[in-house]
Chains A and B, each alone.
Chain A
Amino acid sequence: MAKEPVRVLVTGAAGQIGYALVPMIARGIMLGADQPVILHMLDIPFAAEALNGVKMELVDAAFPLLKGVVATTDVVEACTGVNVAVMVGGFPRKEGMERKDVMSKNVSIYKSQASALEQHAAPNCKVLVVANPANTNALILKEFAPSIPAKNITCLTRLDHNRALGQISERLSVQVSDVKNVIIWGNHSSTQYPDVNHATVGDKPVRELVKDDEWLNGEFITTVQQRGAAIIKARKLSSALSAASAACDHIRDWVLGTPEGLWVSMGVYSDGSYNVPAGVIYSFPVTCKNGEWTIVQGLAIDEFSRKKLDLTGAELTEEKELAYSCLS
């Protein structure tokens, strides 16, 4: 174990996604089987005892890669020296809550956490926002942590990306690892656009193999968009396992690089590529190398896709305005 340990922060760590995520991190799924880690776990005082229970279990699991655990309700202690920050904590939507209320609660949380991260995290800290509204929470975090490079602040659409791969693999009865290069465009919400126009199985385009454009343009899209709700309906709980797994995939590919010829979807600070709004966190197809992501350029966008890209872009612009109005 010659490598220096990497400090990984998980906020909202006492919750369901945190509970699924921390053993994955401790086993090397996020950063590699030879990368020691120190876990920082943050949650609110109300959850302090439960958080301590998670820490106890991490000790009880005797993980060889886990070099330390910091369990705290203090955001400064939580952020100190972290190299990777996975922001799972947020205010969940409760029955009867208006969209503006959810947005308002989360905007305050992400504004204050931005501050702590900026001041205490290690240089070049990589940030992944999971808590919804993920794209806008990430944007607020970026706006209030100006010394964190914008390229280091991302949000999770890898879950939707993996869900899209899964749906295609089931439709075609192929191994999911044989399906490549779907794209999730836009917002991690019901306006996301799961695009298969550049996806392949082996060297054949998915559209050719599926031979059902109506399904690909209709049911496939809504299935992926609404998968979260379908999981809640079946489990009576939201999708912790697959979200945690996708968070590991997102960070791992970002840090270790994507294989050649393969891209993944990440919510990143938009530079206006593909004529989507700049200045929002928008999910794009990206490749990763040397710890940096790069948007895959030059993909042909047909009319159908154009509309979808614009629709989700418009929603992100609205969310940005709503978020700012909450802060005023």
Chain B
Amino acid sequence: MQKTSEDDTKHPTFRGVRMRSWGKWVSEIREPRKKSRIWLETYPTAEMAARAHDVGALAIKGCSAYLNFPELAKELPLPASMSPKEIQAATSRAAASTRIINSSFNTEMLSCQWTGGIEAIVARLELPSRLSWFLGRFLALYSMAKDPVRVLVTGAAGQIGYALVPMIARGVMLGPDQPVILHMLDIEPAAEALTGVRMELVDAAFPLLRDVVVTTDVTVACKGVNIAVMVGGFPRKEGMERKDVMSKNVSIYKAQASALEKQAAPDCKVLVVANPANTNALILKEFAPSIPEKNITCLTRLDHNRALGQLSERLKIHVSEVKNVIIWGNHSSTQYPDVNHATVTPANGEEKPVRSVVADDNWLNTEFITMVQQRGAAIIKARKLSSALSAASAACDHIRDWVVGTPKGTWVSMGVYSDGSYGIQPGVIYSYPVTCDKGQWSIVQGLKIDDFSRQKMDATAKELVEEKTLAYSCLN
């Protein structure tokens, strides 16, 4: 295979297909008589990328296009001329041709790396305007032909919900070419506010948002959902004991577990955000036994992102240059932000361990840890409201990486059902370093754990076991 200067690898047989260094396949097409390339999407298999190439090739070159699958493309109608009417007719017929579309995409969640909006790509090319219109429309229809994914947000009338739903509707969670249907659930007292959010979603004219289901009925809310983001829960109020908060939330998650199990689509992916997140997720898992335990997770990506942010501020570098922190354990003040395997990779530079670049173990073992642990409180102090923006953003990151996959060499933190890895008691939802591929997460194994880390990891595990006991006592 040929190597290019971008470290891509050309496919040996398919035209217009390259493999990225992180293992995904990207399709490209050259514009005639020009050096510039039109980058199409990234795909998990070379075959899918090759089909995408064919779509673009036909658009640009028409009958003289070299195609990877000429037998399939014969079903694609060619415009008889470049008149807008002919092009429009061909586009509509091609989009209606489900064989190309369904053979490329399975009914499961799509694993396509987000490389950027189609309009942005096409706009940059300065093609003759008819050509760019055709290409843009063809590609948009090709991708808009994806079946919409149903995403449930509970507690949707609240602050996190309000920040989260426009992100979902803009494709931040699942990609700019993945249509979505939003399901929004909240309690009866919030029904009018919830309707207000629905009105605003209509008013925003989001191209990707196919429909909005607004309800106070959990059965309706859960019906057919592919992704569930559980933001709703009972907030701690002044004077409330920990047991009281736990008790309220345990009832909520038990009830919602039932509805999800019965109504959600098969292989529904669940993310619990509402605190106590780990234990709410555990209760949900326990009372929805037919949902695979691997599909029930809780959000520690916010803490993970906060840790990255703190390191980037300390080192005065861009946050995209830091990676592979780990958040271990409970999304609470016992969480352990671990930098022992984190690295810094400046542009055009060598990857170096964070510990050696920071050169301040004392800070990393004390102030850094407490800053990340207590960041939520710091936000509340500054804003007088809790961190909706960053929590919503982290929820999108969590789902997107789970569905689309993590880049090669990078892991993220997710609260997942413990299998005993790293000596943590099985049977709690514990945050681990994970990589994601084909819609599944896997715990990164074999990382060295020093004594300091061991203590921290055990302390947060202990708290989770206590929470589990408390939760069960509330149920009796």
- A residues with a Cβ closer than 8 A to B are 1, 19-20, 22-24, 27, 29, 32-34, 49-50, 52-54, 56-64, 66-67, 159, 162-163, 165-167, 169-170, 175-177, 227, 230-231, 233-236, 239-242, 244-246, 249, 256-257, 259-261
Contacts and interface: CB of A to CB of B under 8 A. Distances in A.
B170 A29 contact: yes
Q: In terms of DSSP, what is the predominant structure of the interface of chain A?
A: helix
Interface string B198-241: 01111111110110000000000000000000000000000000
Interface in B381-408: 381-384, 387-390, 392-394, 397
Contact of B203 (A49, A242, A257): A242
Contacts of B393: 23, 27, 61, 63
A59 B394 contact: no
A57 B117 contact: no
B116 interface: yes
A50 B384 contact: yes
A290 to B, nearest CB: 10
Interface of B: 114-117, 119-120, 123, 129-130, 133, 136, 162-163, 165-167, 170, 172, 176, 192-193, 195-197, 199-207, 209-210, 302, 305-306, 308-310, 312-313, 318-320, 375, 378-379, 381-384, 387-390, 392-394, 397
A207 to B, nearest CB: 20
Given A20-B163, A63-B393, A56 B193 contact: no
B197 A60 contact: no
Contact of A60 (B116, B193, B305): B305
A78 B44 CA distance: 44
5 contacts: A20-B166, A33-B114, A62-B320, A242-B200, A245-B204
B120 A34 contact: yes
A52 B302 CA distance: 18
A91 to B, nearest CB: 21
Contact of A59 (B199, B206, B302, B309): B309
A235 B383 contact: no
Given A23-B389, A239-B200, A33 B117 contact: yes
B120 A241 contact: no
Given A24-B166, A241-B197, A246-B204, A61 B378 contact: no
Contact of B387 (A57, A165, A166, A240): A57
A234 B205 contact: no
A58 B196 CA distance: 26
Given A63-B319, A234-B193, A235-B196, 6 more contacts: A32-B120, A34-B116, A56-B375, A176-B205, A231-B200, A256-B123
Nearest to B157: A235
Which one of B205, B306, B319, B379 has the highest number of Cβ atoms from chain A below 10 Å of its Cβ?
A: B205
Contacts of B392: 23
Contacts of B192: 234-235
Contact of A234 (B170, B196, B302): B196
A159 B303 CA distance: 35
Contacts of B170: 24, 27, 29, 245
B204 A162 contact: yes
B203 A50 contact: no
A241 B204 contact: yes
B195 A62 contact: no
Contact of B120 (A33, A53, A177, A259): A33
Nearest to B394: A61
A175 B375 contact: no
Contact of A61 (B195, B210, B389): B389
Contacts of B207: 175-177
Given A23-B167, A29-B170, A50-B384, A57 B204 contact: no
Contact of A241 (B117, B165, B306): B165
Nearest to A16: B162
A162 to B, nearest CB: 4
Contacts of A61: 305, 309, 389-390, 393-394
Contacts of A60: 302, 305-306, 309, 375, 379, 387, 390
Which of B119, B165, B313 is most buried by chain A, counting CB atoms within 10 A of its CB?
Answer: B119
Nearest to B191: A234
A227 B170 CA distance: 22
Contacts of A241: 162, 165-166, 197, 200-201, 204
A58 B390 CA distance: 7
Q: With a 10 A CB-CB cut-off, give which of B120, B165, B210, B381 has the most chain A CB atoms.
A: B120
B25 to A, nearest CB: 20
A230 B378 CA distance: 35
Nearest to A235: B196
B395 to A, nearest CB: 11
Q: Which residue among A33, A165, A227 has the maximum number of chain B CB atoms within 10 Å of its CB?
A: A33
A235 B193 contact: yes
Contacts of A54: 383, 389
Nearest to A236: B193
A231 B200 CA distance: 7
8 closest A-B pairs by CB: A53-B382, A234-B196, A235-B196, A53-B383, A162-B205, A62-B305, A33-B116, A177-B207
Contact of B319 (A29, A64, A175, A233): A64
Contact of B382 (A52, A177, A259): A52
A56 B309 CA distance: 9
A221 to B, nearest CB: 15
B319 A231 contact: no
Select the residue from A29, A170, A240 with max chain B CB neighbours within 10 A. Answer: A29
A240 B163 CA distance: 10
Given A57-B390, A62-B309, A259 B119 contact: yes
A291 to B, nearest CB: 12
A22 B387 CA distance: 14
B120 A245 contact: no
A67 B312 CA distance: 11
A27 B203 CA distance: 21
Contacts of A175: 207, 210
A27 B375 CA distance: 22
Contact of B320 (A24, A64, A162, A245): A64
A162 B205 CA distance: 6
Contacts of A49: 382-383
Contact of A56 (B167, B201, B382): B382
Contacts of A32: 116-117, 120
Contacts of A53: 379, 381-383
A316 B247 CA distance: 58
Contacts of A67: 318
A289 B325 CA distance: 44
Given A19-B389, A57-B389, A60-B309, A234 B199 contact: yes
B116 A231 contact: no
Nearest to A27: B172
B210 to A, nearest CB: 7
Nearest to B302: A60
A159 B167 contact: no
Given A53-B379, A57-B379, A259 B167 contact: no
Contacts of B167: 23, 27
B322 to A, nearest CB: 9
